[in-house]
Amino acid sequence: MARSLPAPRWAMLLSLVLLIGCMVAPSLAVKHKDFKTCEQSGFCKRNRAFADNASTQGSLWSSPYELDPASIHFKDGILAGDIVKTTATNEKVQLPLTVSFLESGAARIVVDEEKRLRGDIEMRHGSSANKKRYDETEKWVIVGGLEVSKSATLDAQSETGFTNILYGPDGKFRAIVRHAPFGIEFQRDGQTHVQLNHQGLLNVEHWRPKVDRKDDESAEDESTWWEETFGGNTDSKPRGPESVALDVTFPGYSHVFGIPEHADSLSLKETRGGSGNHEDPYRLYNSDVFEYELQSPMTLYGAIPLMQAHRKNSTVGIFWLNAAETWIDIVKSTVSPNPLSLGAHSKTDTKTHWISESGRIDLFVFLGPSPNDISKTYGELTGYTQLPQQFAIGYHQCRWNYVTDEDVKEVNAKFDKYQIPYDVIWLDLEYTDDRKYFTWDPLTFPDPKGMQQKLDETERKLVVLIDPHIKNADKYFVSEELRSKNLAVLNKDGEIYDGWCWPGSSNWVDCFNPAAHAWWATLHKFDKFKGSLQNLFIWNDMNEPSVFNGPDMTMPKDNLHYGNWEHRDVHNVNGLTLLNATYKAMLERKKGEVRRPFILTRSYYAGAQRVSAMWTGDNQATWDHLGATLPMVLTNGIAGFPFAGADVGGFFHNPDKELLSRWYQTGIWYPFFRAHAHIDTRRREPYLISEPHRSYIAQAIRLRYQLLPAWYTAFHEASVNGTPIVRPQYYMFPEDEQGFAIDDQLYLASTGLLVKPVVQENTYSADVYISDDEKYYDYFDFTVYQGAGKRHTVPAPEEKVPILIQGGHIIPRKDRPRRSSGLMRWDPYTLVITLNKNSEAEGTLYVDDGETFDYERGAYIHRRFNYRGSVLSSEDIGVKGPKTAEYLKTMAGVTVERVVLVDPPAEWKAKKTVTVIEDGAKVASTASLEYYEQEAGKASYVVVKKPSVGIGKTWRIEF
């Protein structure tokens, strides 16, 4: 029988400590030991040592790579030749080179290895892995822009030892190819902007047989060549050392941006130590980094090896097309001018060092000169952001997990009760039957169809999680088919690879195999994924792939994929292959279904923007993490993947009310706007939050919905020319050096909206930096801020997110609150006009059905609004197609219901009407105008009521 004894003092103390421990959120920290540092990664360590040796030797160092002059030929825009590497033992290694000059103005440099191309190598351990260097990254990534320039020519002026090519727009670009040591300099208008192998760090670790000898018999340190062990896993490395590396210098450039995904500042830091710098290079090796840390070069879930270098009025860039593990060192060196050269500025060069474990050197060089040019050219190569369905840019409500179908319906009803708009509710892992994807838990989700039908009543959608690990279980049709059809990833011995993930023992679908795509498509069909309806969309998580018992939380590098490619070669593109398969599957769900797929991904590579949205993974409910989301989302935008967001509220822990509402005020500016929370957190749907914070959150979400026309137009712009949807300061003002490192405020595309969310606790104002001397108006009350090159303090009480509108814009809005974006389809528009110094303004609007691909056949409205000489006009900038007329007919009743013009001339006080002239109307009509005078410091404004001009029509409003 149990006896109750008085608790000893120590036990009481212990319980007290435990109790306090439970009340305070545990501080989370990444497990460094789970992820390699450069020092622990053989090829990174070797290449850093190579760089150190070169720098120690200084001018005595000479890169052992020469372009054989006899091998060089130039034809049809392509220069080809052989680079010869001379080894320490005087062996000559042939490395075929091609430099293609592209019609777009980009140049592409490819270096391969002759022996490997011929398959003339011996594999160790009887491995059946492919002998070539992986050359198929482009198959997954590049979709266009490879047309070779017809006008590129050999420059007759080349000095001996150099081959120069003139190319690019009007032949303004020049590539100076130095033969010995091999290197290339890229010039624009006679000035050098990019240098390859300038520091002599080019390194192609050629294939060589393993010779058994004692350590001291080798001239080189071979300790990391043949086998590497990490986290209890030994990598058999059947081809030995095979890394490729190259230095890329940007002379005169002091800022570099891009290479997501890292939780770091927008302007990338130096990586060779020193105050405020990193110790390790930026790493790109898609990984499930649990409890990731901030201000870090550690790898995260996605990788885009695109870097932009920026200096006053010039942006250039490079794209390193390699899917293997990659590290990038960044060093800046500043040369101060001779003190006697009055007025000269010091000059900073940014030197980068790109190191990949395997594959080829395959590098694109972009010479700008503007950030927009880079976005455009890079987008031609890798594809532009998909134009998403309208619902996808509304608000997404997620948590791990909504536990039953009744739970989902209740959440849905509560949003309506509290009049908070939302478009999508999400189901995480636990909706499945025992973590078997494409099934529903029969006890908790007995009626998935009924649940989806309920959502559909208000045009809402459901997104469910489908991961690439397939539970290894008998009688589970997906597992059985995966095995019987041989579509799984194999281990190094050619057997189905078995690892540990959410369902326990799992196998991974190998989406490098075209047959896997065909099979994956069958799984998504309505008759296979029973219980799914047309308003169900997909979340692909854990696709790095995350493997709980694997090295670096992923698969062993010697695993084999279709084509016998080692996982080492393809790792970073792995997630994208799944997305391609899912995209195709969603298109083919039902014959004749023509709606745009929506897929959220955690892992990505260049090209993922064509098929998915991304989010920044498992962040934390802290102010620091809130602040970190801004540079992360901005970086993704300039790296060509702008449909980006972060878990609103923070994934781990429970945010307090202030943090949560500030997070919503920030989250409405993420192109992908979704709240999400870990399974151990408390419920935090906006309606559960007590007042006044509930209202703050609701107001923020309504603001997102009000501006959906501007957001959709921004997405359209991104989908045709690759521009970021939210943009950093340097991108908008490439001439303003003071703005280059700013990454805590953003612009919504070209709308003129400038936002600086509050990301600090107890903070009630924001210092917004303004570059130019236009007037900026507070979005809510038109307070005027003016003054270039300085910060302006904008009040930010808890209910307010600081937003300014630059003078000179016309912003389309929809001001009627609705339950979902679908229900706003036929609502009328409001146009808000701010004037620039010349009393002019401009803006655009793009509209389509928000759902199908009919826009590709002209079913859309694209207008430019102009305000000039006191006349507001709407002009058609679309291209007509077979479906234009029909679409315009459906939109005939959608009009402009209000025009707000800020800061009008004072003489308009007496004005009572404006004249409205719509194309095709027999007579002009009038609409009423009201003048609202404001106190000093705030601009007055006028409101035109019901001009009722058609949104798809050509018209003029004369003030």
Return the CA Rg of the chain.
29
- The 8-class DSSP code of residue 833 comes to E
In degrees and rounded to multiples of 5, residue 631 shows phi and psi of -60, -30
- The 8-class DSSP code of residue 937 comes to T
Q: How far apart (Å, rounded) are the C-alpha atoms in residues 201 and 47?
A: 8
Give the helix/strand (H/E) hosting 216. none
73-75 and 78-86: which strand pairing?
antiparallel
Q: How far is the CB of 688 from ligand NOJ (least distance, A)?
A: 19
Sign of torsion over alpha carbons 528, 532, 537, 538? negative
Q: How far apart (Å, rounded) are the C-alpha atoms in residues 150 and 103?
A: 7
Q: Which is nearer to ligand NOJ, 398 or 805 (CB)?
A: 398
Q: How far apart (Å, rounded) are the C-alpha atoms in residues 221 and 40?
A: 15
Q: How far is the CB of 271 from ligand NOJ (least distance, A)?
A: 27
Q: Which is nearer to ligand NOJ, 653 or 809 (CB)?
A: 653
Q: How far is the CB of 685 from ligand NOJ (least distance, A)?
A: 16
Q: 541 catalytic, yes or no?
A: yes
- The 8-class DSSP code of residue 132 comes to S
Exactly one of 112, 242, 618, 897 is catalytic; name it: 618
Q: How far is the CB of 676 from ligand NOJ (least distance, A)?
A: 6
Residue 601 tokens, joined: 């991904």
Q: How far apart (Å, rounded) are the C-alpha atoms in residues 121 and 93?
A: 13
Q: How far is the CB of 293 from ligand NOJ (least distance, A)?
A: 16
Q: Which one, of 467, 511, 246, 226, lies nearest residue 354 by Cα? A: 246
How would you classify residue 271: left for phi > 0, otherwise alpha for psi between -120 and 50, otherwise beta?
A: alpha
Nearest residue to ligand NOJ, scored by beta-carbon proximity? 400
Q: 624 catalytic, yes or no?
A: no
Q: Which is nearer to ligand NOJ, 646 or 708 (CB)?
A: 646
Q: Which one, of 667, 745, 671, lies nearest residue 713 by Cα? A: 671
Sorted by sequence, the CB contacts under 8 Å of residue 447 that are 6+ apart come out as: 405
Interface ranges with ligand NOJ (CB under 6 A): 400, 428-429, 465, 541, 602, 617-618, 676
Q: Which is nearer to ligand NOJ, 400 or 908 (CB)?
A: 400
Q: 781 catalytic, yes or no?
A: no
Q: Which is nearer to ligand NOJ, 460 or 602 (CB)?
A: 602
Residue type, 9: R
How would you classify residue 849: left for phi > 0, otherwise alpha for psi between -120 and 50, otherwise beta?
A: alpha
Q: How far apart (Å, rounded) are the C-alpha atoms in residues 390 and 705?
A: 11
Q: Which one, of 407, 457, 316, 313, lies nearest residue 819 by Cα? A: 457
Q: Which is nearer to ligand NOJ, 226 or 400 (CB)?
A: 400
Sorted by sequence, the CB contacts under 8 Å of residue 626 that are 6+ apart come out as: 650, 659, 662, 663, 666, 759
Q: Which is nearer to ligand NOJ, 680 or 907 (CB)?
A: 680
108 and 175 Cβ atoms separated by less than 8 Å: no
Exactly one of 261, 264, 329, 544 is catalytic; name it: 544
What strands, in cross-sheet order, belong to the sheet with 753-755? 726-727, 746-748, 753-755, 803-806, 776-778, 784-785
Residue 877 tokens, joined: 């900038």
Q: How far is the CB of 428 from ligand NOJ (least distance, A)?
A: 5
Q: Which is nearer to ligand NOJ, 280 or 544 (CB)?
A: 544
CA angle at 190 for the pair 189 and 193, rounded to the nearest 5°: 85
Q: How far apart (Å, rounded) are the C-alpha atoms in residues 809 and 779?
A: 12
Sign of torsion over alpha carbons 681, 685, 687, 691? positive
665 and 386 Cβ atoms separated by less than 8 Å: no
Q: Which is nearer to ligand NOJ, 429 or 847 (CB)?
A: 429
Q: Which is nearer to ligand NOJ, 429 or 538 (CB)?
A: 429
Residue type, 93: V
Exactly one of 205, 235, 541, 717 is catalytic; name it: 541
Which residues are catalytic, by number?
541, 544, 618
